[in-house]
Structure 1
């Protein structure tokens, strides 16, 4: 599953953020289960064109890219 981490002014690779999270998988990536972010909660979309977005347990916004 491809994802990006969004902050107020940056787009980061999950490997830059998730490696320090205890909820990340063994490779330092967010945990996905059946296409849903396991270590966060879904955020409502404003428009249908937006990608799926999640709020992770650390407070970052995770966007599903694929």
Structure 2
């Protein structure tokens, strides 16, 4: 499950990505094959930390399993 992270809140992608020009037709981040296509991976510091990405709009997106 993908979530958008800010310093103090967690949002569903549809609350943020619908206004992004890089989102797919349903207003979701372009997630394909386990990778975010509209951003880049952020290095993990621990194995317990979820995979995180930074989208081109500057938001952090986490893949929570």
What is the 5 A alignment of 1:15-26?
Answer: 15-26=14-25
Matched, 1:7 2:12: no
What is the 5 A alignment of 1:39-54?
Answer: 39-54=38-53
Displacement after TM superposition at 1:38 (Å): 0.3
Consecutive unaligned residues in structure 1, runs of 5 or more: none
d(CA) in 2 for partners of 1:15 and 1:43?
21
- How many residue pairs get matched? 65
Counterpart residue number, 1:36: 35
SS, match of residue 49 in structure 1: coil
Displacement after TM superposition at 1:34 (Å): 1.0
Consecutive unaligned residues in structure 2, runs of 5 or more: none
Q: Deviations over 1:2-23 (max 9, x none)?
A: 2000001110010000000001
d(CA) in 1 for partners of 2:13 and 2:31?
12
- Structure 2-normalised TM-score? 0.95
- Structure 1-normalised TM-score? 0.94
